[in-house]
Amino acid sequence: MLTAKTKCIGILGWPVEHSLSPLMQNSAFVTAGLDYIYVPLPVAPPALAAAIEGLKALGFAGANVTIPHKVKVMPFMDHLDKNAQMAGAVNTIVLKENKLYGYNTDVDGFIRPLLRQKVLLAGKKAIILGAGGAAQAVIWGLIQAGVAEIAIGVRDTAKAKPLIDLFSTYTGISAHQLPSASLNDKLRCCDLLINATPLGMAPHIAQEPPVNWPLLPAGSIVYDLIYTPRQTKFLQQAAACGHVTMNGESMLVEQGAAAFALWTGQPAPLEAMYAAIAAHFV
């Protein structure tokens, strides 16, 4: 039952109706027996500053931040954690004593499913397709996990330059036209291929990033950040070649689990969160 003591968490986005986080987080709070409620908060871009003030005025305990506010919300934070700084975006806010603490749980959300599958990342070579917001969080996660070499495949290599500039002091990183002969060279010795473009996302399920599949070594891991559909054309191609495939559903759950832990100080009920998302897709 909602009372004056119930702690409120919101998700700021525009639009926000499509978000699965209210379903997942409210299931988690019920399972954990915590007096919290998670509400969608549609915030048009010009209203972002007012919405942030509103979170404070209304005594919210925290928030998630989604498209298009993840970058624009950063200057409002009183404190930014290292992952948020390096990912260049905030997706989770904790409010404490009227101060705003900004985090990026997409970084751990991406890495944790790999670690749970006991994938050894140290010293490995990765290719990431796309150079947008998710790619930046993924690259920082890979660097922290000790990946030795990262190649970015993009349709306009100039757009990858800020990522090369930011991360080249941490690891070997290069940008390549998608597709190109130089990206094919990287494919030949790739351990982990990641799609961080929206190609193949519903409703455009016939699309796929151009990958020269026969070049990818047998047994590579192919990870698509997309979770609708669960099996994109990209993952279908990978599975047909015998590669290990992962979709974005586990990243969605794990970034939410990391946010839950930040708001509540308790480990998230992971099974309930996975079940809530899986039930949605049935």
- Say how many residues make up the chain: 282
57 or 207, CB closer to ligand NAP?
207
- Helices 106-116 + 133-144 axis angle, to 10: 50
Nearer to ligand NAP, 90 or 134 (CB): 134
153: which 2 tokens?
Answer: 């495949």
Q: Which is nearer to ligand NAP, 6 or 117 (CB)?
A: 117
Secondary element (H or E) of residue 166: helix 161-167
Which token pair is 144? 């922290």
Query: Residue 242 Cβ, how far from ligand NAP at the closest point, in Å?
Result: 24
Catalytic residue (choose from 70, 124, 125, 186): 70
Tell me the three state secondary structure of residue 168.
Answer: coil
Shortest gap between Cβ of 59 and ligand NAP (angstroms)?
28
Tell me the residue ranges of DSSP E strands in the chain.
Answer: 7-13, 36-42, 62-65, 79-80, 92-96, 99-103, 125-129, 149-154, 172-177, 192-195, 221-224, 244-246
Whole-angstrom CA distances from 90 to 66, 101, 183, 227 are: 9, 9, 30, 21
The answer to whether residue 118 is catalytic is no
In DSSP notation, 3-54 reads -TTPEEEEEEESS-TT-SHHHHHHHHHHHHT--EEEEEEE--GGGHHHHHHH
Residue nearest to ligand NAP (CB): 132
How many Å apart are CA 208 and CA 119, to the nearest integer? Answer: 25
CA-based end-to-end distance of the chain: 28
CB of 56 vs ligand NAP, minimal distance in Å = 26
To the nearest whole angstrom, how small is the minimum distance from the Cβ of residue 196 to ligand NAP?
Answer: 5
**Comparison of 57 and 115: residue with beta carbon closer to ligand NAP:** 115
Residues in contact with ligand NAP by the rule CB under 6 A: 106, 109, 130-135, 154-156, 159, 178, 196-199, 201, 225-227, 248, 251-252, 255
Q: Which is nearer to ligand NAP, 153 or 269 (CB)?
A: 153
Counting runs of H as helices and runs of E as strands, what totals does the chain give?
Answer: 10, 12
Smaller CB separation from ligand NAP, 51 or 163 = 163
C-beta of 176: minimal distance to ligand NAP in Å? 12
Q: Shortest Cβ distance from residue 200 to ligand NAP (Å)?
A: 8
Could you tell me which residues come within 8 angstroms of residue 158 by beta carbon, excluding any fewer than 6 positions away? Answer: none
| Residues catalogued as catalytic | 70
